[in-house]
């Protein structure tokens, strides 16, 4: 599906206004491990990382509430 420059600009503007970007640095080779894991669970790398963050926050909050 071809996109026009106007469509690309609109998408870029939407992303800029609705999302924060976080740069993640991992040791050489770990990106491939993350990618393989995500694909096995039918997720993108971004989707997997977001799920991992959300689950960890939920776990940590539950843990601190029960202490």
Average pLDDT over residues 39-67: 94
Closest CA to 41 of 16, 24, 50, 20: 50
d(CA 52, CA 48): 6
Measure the CA angle with vertex 58, ends 54 and 60; round to 5°.
115
- Comparison of pLDDT for 17 and 63, the residue scoring more: 17
Average pLDDT, whole number, for the chain?
Answer: 94
- Comparison of pLDDT for 13 and 1, the residue scoring more: 13
pLDDT for 20 beyond 80? yes
pTM: 0.75
d(CA 43, CA 65): 30
Q: What is the CA radius of gyration of the chain?
A: 17
pLDDT of 67: 81
pLDDT of 41: 97
């Amino acid at each position: 599906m071809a996109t026009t420059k106007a469509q690309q600009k609109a998408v870029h503007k939407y992303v800029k206004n609705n999302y924060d970007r976080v740069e993640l640095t991992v040791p050489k080779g770990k990106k491939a491990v993350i990618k393989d894991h995500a694909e096995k669970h039918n997720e993108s790398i971004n989707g997997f990382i977001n799920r991992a963050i959300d689950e960890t926050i939920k776990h940590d909050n539950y843990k601190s509430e029960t202490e």
